[in-house]
Amino acid sequence: MARVKGGVKTRRRHNRILKETKGQFGARHKNIRKAMEARLHALAYATRDRRNRRRDLRALWITRINAAARQHGMKYSELIHRLKQAGIALDRKVLADLAARDAAAFAAVVQAAKSAS
């Protein structure tokens, strides 16, 4: 039986990997072994950092809400507690957006939370 060489398939696979590592530095975008390694690490970092981005954004939202709440004489934890007591279901992303862009609406939310308890 004749030997079958996988030239076309191998070249396509290599080209796909090299295309994915196009912006890498040095041999990481030229050498197939280095490119495969770089691609695996890049995918792992991307997965990790998608989770970390959510963590970082939540921390940013909490910081913004706390700063705006303190301008109205209330702490962050107190505000969240009173919002839950009042039955106001606004998540931290929306509250932070109100605090940053619409001070009057945030003031109304704080006032509703204060009057709830």
* Residue 31: DSSP 8-state: S
The yes/no answer on whether domain 7-116 falls in CATH 1.10.1900.20 is yes
User: Residue 117 has what pLDDT?
Assistant: 64
Structure tokens at 88: 């106001």
Q: Side chain identity at 22, as an amino acid letter? A: K
| Residue ranges covered by each domain of the chain | 7-116
pTM greater than 0.85: no
The C-alpha atoms of residue 114 and residue 86 are separated, in whole angstroms, by 9
pLDDT digits (tens, 9 = 90+) for 29-43: 998 999 999 999 999
Instruction: Give the SS3 label for residue 49.
Output: helix
**In terms of C-beta distances under 8 Å and separation of at least 24 residues, what long-range contacts does 40-43 make, across chains too?**
none
